Amino acid sequence: MSELIDGKKVSEDTREEIAKGVEELKSSSGITPGLAAVLVGDDPASEIYVRNKRKACEKVGIYSEEHKLPAETTEEELLALVNKLNNDDKIHGILVQLPLPDHINETNILRNVTPLKDVDGFHPENVGRLVEGNPRFISCTPYGIIKMLDYYNIEIKGAEAVVVGRSNIVGKPVGMLLLHRHATVTTCHSRTKDLGEVTRRADILVAAIGRANFITADMVKDGAVVIDVGINRNEEGKLTGDVDFANLSDKVSYITPVPGGVGPMTITMLLWNTLESAKLSAGK
């Protein structure tokens, strides 16, 4: 029998801890952590993320503001806003919602968010620090995955960890975090030969591909821990992960559901990073 990894529960407990930390910072140094979210265009999924972020901030006492810009915003206009936020003392975390419209150079924008407020952990300085093993801000989804594994006392040290997907947001950083925690890490992608042969070795399997039900039961070892990062809509419009949950859940030891697994942790770790950033600015 497998156990569900309940991202909502881990999130609730972590958010309580964050709310306490926010309160302590306010009373000890008069600083209220502040997060600015920047949204360009009207991608419905991104609007939902940003709305959820706002509500989550309110609940833990973090000040938040939203900057909604039209799809035709130029790169220069967006850079001007980023610069303004870089220099705004109320703001400790800046989040530029991805994806950006095609005419804007995403890399250039992310490089212009000051690394001291880069709570997404996307700036090359923060990516470099993560690789070096001296992280400042860790990207929220990978960080949330590690938090969940720890919450359930799942041993990372010595485990065979297989990550399917090599994105800058999830695949690469989660591989690095697992490596720092002494897992043996293999990263797979669309050109991997005989993917099943590799995934069947995994004690911990992280699926971050972006294709519904891509990981099938025959690709997973009995008793593995399966972390599903996917958020896809199937033909009926229902939210589904990258993992064929129905056929796999009896075979594994732990598995994250979609929704209610990794998803809630991403916003939680964004709040966490914003609090950490505010503490850094207060010299704590």
C-beta of residue 109 within 8 angstroms of C-beta of residue 79: yes
**Residues 244-283: x where in contact with ligand GUN by CB under 6 A, - otherwise, as a string:** ----------------------x-----------------
Does the footprint of ligand GUN cover residue 118 (CB under 6 A)?
Answer: no
Q: Is 203 a catalytic residue?
A: no
What is the side-by-side order of every strand in the sheet holding 160-164? 3-4, 254-255, 225-228, 204-207, 160-164, 184-188
Residue 209 makes contact with ligand GUN by CB under 6 A: no
- SS3 state at 44: helix
Q: Does the protein bind ligand GUN through residue 141 (CB under 6 A)?
A: yes
Catalytic, out of 117, 118, 120, 279: 120
| Candidate list 19, 31, 69, 98; residue touching ligand GUN; CB under 6 A | 98
Distance of closest approach, residue 170 Cβ to ligand GUN, in angstroms? 8
Q: Does 97 bind ligand GUN (CB under 6 A)?
A: yes
Which span sits near ligand GUN by CB under 6 A: 65-73, 95-103, 145-153, 228-236? 95-103
Instruction: Respond yes or no: is residue 244 known to be catalytic.
Output: no
CA angle 205–238–70, rounded 5-degree value: 95
Cα–Cα–Cα angle for 149, 219, 11, rounded to 5 degrees: 25
Find the DSSP H helices in the chain.
7-29, 44-60, 75-86, 106-112, 124-132, 140-151, 171-180, 195-199, 245-248, 262-281
Span near ligand GUN by CB under 6 A; candidates 93-101, 157-165, 187-195, 275-283: 93-101
Active site residue 120: yes
Burial of 2 (0-12, 13-18, 19+ CB in 10 A): middle
Considering only residues 164 to 203 of the shown chain, the ones binding ligand GUN according to CB under 6 A are 169
Catalytic residues: 53, 97, 120
Residues of this chain that interact with ligand GUN (CB under 6 A) are: 95-98, 120, 140-141, 169, 266
